[in-house]
Chains A and B, each alone.
Chain A
Amino acid sequence: MAPIVQCMGLTKTYGGKIALNQIYLNLERGRIIGLLGPNGSGKTTLIKIMNGLLNPTAGDIFINGLRPGIETKYRISYLPERTYLQPGMKVMEMVQYFQDFYPDFRAERAYDMLARLQIQPYERLKNLSKGTKEKVQLILVMSRDADLYILDEPIAGVDPASRDYILHTIVQNYNRNATILLSTHLISDVENILDEVVFIRYGNIILQAGAEEIRRNEGKSVDRFFREVFAC
């Protein structure tokens, strides 16, 4: 089966500045993959291109064999690092919104997770705390049966106690044949759920390897290895 994501010489420049430099990358199906790199390394640029929010300057990218477009948006469930919810809407209205636009959205799954987190469906989003809004957003994203979940810094804005719940939510609710691409710099929190890691620096992929392979070959955790590779 073809990889879920294929990048071939993918390049993005802003003016004269290179954000992604001729990236060749294949992401296989059914894996939880960490996209790891320091700030400004090109993680978000790569994620935006996958989601059709940016156009590459050169090279090509295929999601499920297709260039980013309407068809690939049906298959990708994306959690940006921003809060994209409309503040005037109620939680239940956002659930309806997702149901209206994504055929693979499972409302009952969303309501079940909301209940477990004691988030009231009739609550207006503007009345929720930042962390709760992020949880609602994650619940909406994980309530889809997508082929590719792209989660940009899903645990950065929440307290440590909630991180475990969020990671548990991610692992419990994704479609087993799907791939999760998880961008974060909080590696120690996510290390245990990762099958594979991709290290990115200055717009270049410098490593793509299995998490277990790194631990075995390097004799250290992915977090420790990351700190050594990206030491200033």
Chain B
Amino acid sequence: MLARLMKYEWKATWKLLVPVNLLIVVMTFFACITARIDFFNSDNDGIIFSAVMIILTYVASMFAAMIGTAVFLIYRFYTSVYGDQGYLLHTLPVDKHHIILAKVLASGAWVLLSSVLMNMSILFLFNEEEDIFTRFIDNVNIMTEWAGVSVVSGFAVLMTFIAYLVEILARVLKVSACISLGQLSSNHKLMTAFAFYFAIYIVQQIVNGFYYAILGYINTRTGNWYYGKSWEFTLISGLLYIVAFYAATWYVMERKLNLD
């Protein structure tokens, strides 16, 4: 049944999210052309104005794609699980674990795709002098430095990527858990969901604060300050968050379901 649920998640989301991700690709293409041809040094004000507009549209598109994807996926989860469509979803002969997994894996895949495309977009846009492979390696170096990796190795890069995936799933599940916990209120479900989100956010910031206070920000490889968490911390804390958020979502769906 999980495969069938995922099929319908895909069907319900691709029509909006495929064009959104195509928008990232198309705008990257135009922004790259604008940057490469160097329209900004033209004598023609019209060309300079057009170049500025293309870059501004590119930036706006990136933000719109990022925010639009998040808002759509949150709306989709809310309406299909706890809105009117929930009456169908929760009377299907399927396990609640499958419902959660289908929602989270589909949303996680979309967030990952958008995130990878945006990273690639920035990589291409600022790749003026070096070849793309060199730039990619530089990008990996920056990512691993941010992740506190002191000796870059295949293992460290792999673990950094896995930690990144875990963090994406934890974020998706955090939203699912907050919306679900909001259902515990009979009259102010959305407001309660926001309250849970901010409460969890504060707890996470306190946990991060302890981490930074104990381990500091300095990367032992480069000696530089960095703003980021080690992949070990991201992975372990992410897995703990996933367990907690998953359990909260399941508990509400299985034991405290109360559709309006």
Q: Is A160 an interface residue (CB 8 A)?
A: no
Q: At the interface, is chain A mostly helix, strand, loop or mixed?
A: loop
Q: Which residues of B (67-112) have their CB < 8 Å from a CB of A? A: 80, 84-88, 90-95
Chain B count of residues within 8 A CB distance of the other chain? 25
Whose C-beta in chain A lies nearest to the C-beta of B16? A88
Q: How far is the CB of B30 from chain A (nearest CB, A)?
A: 30
Whose C-beta in chain B lies nearest to the C-beta of A82? B84
Find out whether the CB atom of B259 lies under 8 angstroms from the CB atom of A102. no
Find out whether the CB atom of A101 lies under 8 angstroms from the CB atom of B92. yes
Find out whether the CB atom of B12 lies under 8 angstroms from the CB atom of A70. no
Find out whether the CB atom of B93 lies under 8 angstroms from the CB atom of A101. yes
Q: Is A78 an interface residue (CB 8 A)?
A: yes
Q: How far is the CB of B188 from chain A (nearest CB, A)?
A: 14
In the bound complex, what is the Cα–Cα distance between A76 and B87 (angstroms)?
A: 13
Q: Which of A70, A76, A78, A85 contacts B94 (CB 8 A)?
A: A70
Find out whether the CB atom of B95 lies under 8 angstroms from the CB atom of A55. no
**In the complex with contacts A82-B84, A86-B85, A73-B257 CB distance below 8 A:** no
Indicate the member of A14, A54, A71, A82 with the most B CB atoms within 10 Å.
Answer: A82
Find out whether the CB atom of A53 lies under 8 angstroms from the CB atom of B90. yes
**In the complex with contacts A70-B93, A102-B93, A88-B257 CB distance below 8 A:** no
Whose C-beta in chain B lies nearest to the C-beta of A68? B91
A82 contacts across to B, CB distance below 8 A: 84, 87
Find out whether the CB atom of A76 lies under 8 angstroms from the CB atom of B12. no
Interface string of A69-90 (1 = CB under 8 A from B): 0110110101010111110110
Q: Which residues from chain A sit less than 8 Å from chain B, CB to CB?
A: 14-15, 48, 51-55, 70-71, 73-74, 76, 78, 80, 82-86, 88-89, 93, 97, 100-102
Whose C-beta in chain A lies nearest to the C-beta of B255? A55
Find out whether the CB atom of B15 lies under 8 angstroms from the CB atom of A88. yes
A51 contacts across to B, CB distance below 8 A: 90-91
Find out whether the CB atom of A88 lies under 8 angstroms from the CB atom of B12. yes
A71 contacts across to B, CB distance below 8 A: 93
Q: Which of A55, A73, A89 contacts B92 (CB 8 A)?
A: A73
Selected A-B contacts with CB under 8 Å, 16 pairs: A14-B186, A48-B259, A52-B91, A53-B87, A53-B259, A54-B258, A55-B257, A70-B94, A73-B93, A78-B87, A80-B87, A82-B84, A84-B84, A84-B87, A100-B8, A101-B94
A100 contacts across to B, CB distance below 8 A: 4, 7-8
Whose C-beta in chain A lies nearest to the C-beta of B4? A100
A80 contacts across to B, CB distance below 8 A: 87
In the bound complex, what is the Cα–Cα distance between A15 and B258 (angstroms)?
A: 13
Q: Which of A55, A86, A88, A101 contacts B1 (CB 8 A)?
A: A101
